[in-house]
């Protein structure tokens, strides 16, 4: 079990604390409203996450979504039309474009 709990989600911290108190998965599940199998999977994922570097990778360049939005905007598409094509709102498309522009300027 990881000793560094600052990178854990709240439910993971609660489950680990209960496990350290000696509770079984069935009891933990009853207390937090999850099935015992779910509790076991969460514990397995905590162990799995321990071996993974949690620092975000240095992204160089825009994401595929940002590239698609930029291409469609360059073609003259409106935010609403792009949003409809990508299953998002026009407001969301505008926000993604603004964030991509801010990141590229930095």
- Residue 101: domain span: 64-105
Tell whether 41 is covered by a domain: yes
* 69 lies in the same domain as 42: no
Q: How confident is the model at residue 20 (pLDDT cuts 50, 70, 90)?
A: very high
Q: In the prediction, which pLDDT does 65 show?
A: 94
Question: Does residue 56 have a pLDDT over 80?
Answer: no
Give the mean pLDDT of 8-17. Answer: 92
| Helix (H) or strand (E) segment spanning residue 94 | helix 90-105
* 46 lies in the same domain as 73: no
* 44 lies in the same domain as 74: no
Q: In the prediction, which pLDDT does 2 show?
A: 47
Q: In the prediction, which pLDDT does 104 show?
A: 85
Tell whether 39 is covered by a domain: yes
Cα separation of 66 and 22, whole Å?
Answer: 48
Hunting for tokens 């990881």 — which residue is that? 2
Tell whether 78 is covered by a domain: yes
Tell whether 97 is covered by a domain: yes
Q: How confident is the model at residue 89 (pLDDT cuts 50, 70, 90)?
A: very high
Task: Count the helix, strand and coil residues of the chain and give each as a percent rounded to the nearest 5.
Answer: 70, 0, 30
Tell whether 68 is covered by a domain: yes
pLDDT > 70 fraction of the chain, expressed in percent and rounded: 85
Give the mean pLDDT of 6-35. Answer: 93
Question: Does residue 105 have a pLDDT over 90?
Answer: no
- Total domains in the chain come to 2
* 68 lies in the same domain as 100: yes
pTM: 0.47
* 11 lies in the same domain as 42: yes
């Amino acid at each position: 079990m990881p000793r560094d709990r600052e990178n854990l989600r709240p439910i993971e911290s609660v489950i680990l604390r209960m496990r350290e108190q000696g509770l079984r998965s069935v009891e933990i599940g009853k207390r937090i409203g999850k099935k015992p199998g779910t509790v076991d999977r969460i514990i397995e994922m905590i162990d799995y996450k321990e071996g993974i570097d949690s620092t975000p990778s240095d992204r160089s360049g825009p994401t595929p979504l940002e590239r698609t939005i930029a291409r469609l905007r360059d073609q003259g598409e409106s935010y609403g039309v792009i949003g409809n094509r990508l299953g998002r709102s026009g407001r969301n498309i505008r926000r993604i474009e603004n964030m991509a522009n801010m990141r590229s300027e930095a």
